[in-house]
Amino acid sequence: MNSTGDLTNQAPFQLLLTPRQAAKTLSICERTLYGLTKRGEVPAIRIGRAVRYSVDDLKDWIKKSSENA
């Protein structure tokens, strides 16, 4: 991931982000991300015990959140 946290300029491009990567990309702390996920506000994907965040889902969430603000 690049230093700007831009979801579209990652090399190589990742479809799924770890919680740490997703939180850093959204410029929030992991605890906040976990709270949003637990409340169902941010969509997450579970693979076994691992939690991952889809880049496309995060983009959609940002778009919806900015429309409601």
CATH number at residue 24: 1.10.1660
Confidence of residue 1 (pLDDT cuts 50, 70, 90): very low
Average of per-residue pLDDT across 36-65: 95
69 or 16, greater pLDDT: 16
Q: Does residue 7 belong to any structural domain of this protein? A: no
pLDDT at 49 over 90: yes
What is the number of structural domains in the chain? 1
Average of per-residue pLDDT across 2-7: 55
The predicted pLDDT at position 68 comes to 82
Task: Give me the domain span that covers residue 36.
Answer: 16-68
Going from the C-alpha of 52 to that of each of 60, 67, 68, 69, the distances in angstroms are: 15, 25, 25, 26
Angle in degrees, 0-180, between the axes of helices 19-26 and 30-38, rounded to the nearest 10: 100
* pTM of the predicted protein model: 0.77
